Amino acid sequence: MAVTCVKKAGLGLMGLVSTELILSAGTHANIQITRSTVRVFSFIYTQQSDTLTPEQAMAGPRPVVMSGPSGAGKSTLLKKLLKEFEGVFGFSVSHTTRSPRPGEENGKDYHYVTREVMKAAIANGEFIENAEFSGNMYGTSKAAVQAVQAKNMICILDIDMQGVKNIKRTDLNPIYVSIQPPSMEILEKRLRDRKTESEESLQKRLHAAKVDMEISKEPGLFDVVIINDDLDVAYGKLKDAVLEEIQKVRDANKS
């Protein structure tokens, strides 16, 4: 049976956006989980009626922060995880000002909004944290993490390196996982095989990836760094990293 994860966009105070995202965990294996610059729950609240207290938010299972350059294989690993452990994970979908790529759907891959809407929402405190990449803004609402944890599911946050460092300054207490490619050469081939970006955009991603790979070596930044040169081995390491939280969810669901 598919388990749904509901996320309110969290922009209602400004009257800007009022949407709900319903993710069916049983269908995640068939959807494209693209690079998300997902932002984190910092427990700094605006006055919203549906806001959880820090104690309520921390009562759920620990979130999993996934980071790594585009093309490292995060999406493939996440799909496998969501397929094997149906109903255990909730995937937080971010907002962005970029245009949808072919095959992407609003509310599934991202919530696509204008720059004006995004800026106003950020100014209103609706976004926990945000960043700009290649001329586009990315971010997520507080409600994204709140809703997942409230349902006793493990919230997956797919974020960039800047976001990881910002999370370190919050009370979220996630498991930090870095997914890295075997080499820059292999990463470049993977990105070129996608055929989804201009040469200029590709070069920006490769530059960002090189920086990402270096920063990921910083001691203490991640709980586990996984080199994705063998999908099955990489997936086994990812499962090992989150197995304790998976068991917590299963035990809670039995009680």
3-state secondary structure 101-169: CCCCCECCCEEECCHHHHHHHHHCCCEEEEEEECCEEEEEEHHHHHHHHHCCCEEEEEECHHHHHHHCC
Quick check: helix, strand or coil at residue 59?
coil
Task: Indicate which residue of 101, 115, 169, 250 is catalytic.
Answer: 101
Task: Indicate which residue of 39, 98, 169, 205 is catalytic.
Answer: 205
Question: 138: which residues sit within 8 A by CB, 6+ positions away?
Answer: 36, 37, 38, 39, 94, 95, 96, 97, 130, 131, 132
Quick check: helix, strand or coil at residue 93?
coil
| Residue 101 falls in the annotated catalytic set | yes
| Residue 35 falls in the annotated catalytic set | no
| Residue 115 falls in the annotated catalytic set | no
Task: Indicate which residue of 35, 62, 169, 194 is catalytic.
Answer: 194
By annotation, the residues acting in catalysis are 101, 194, 205
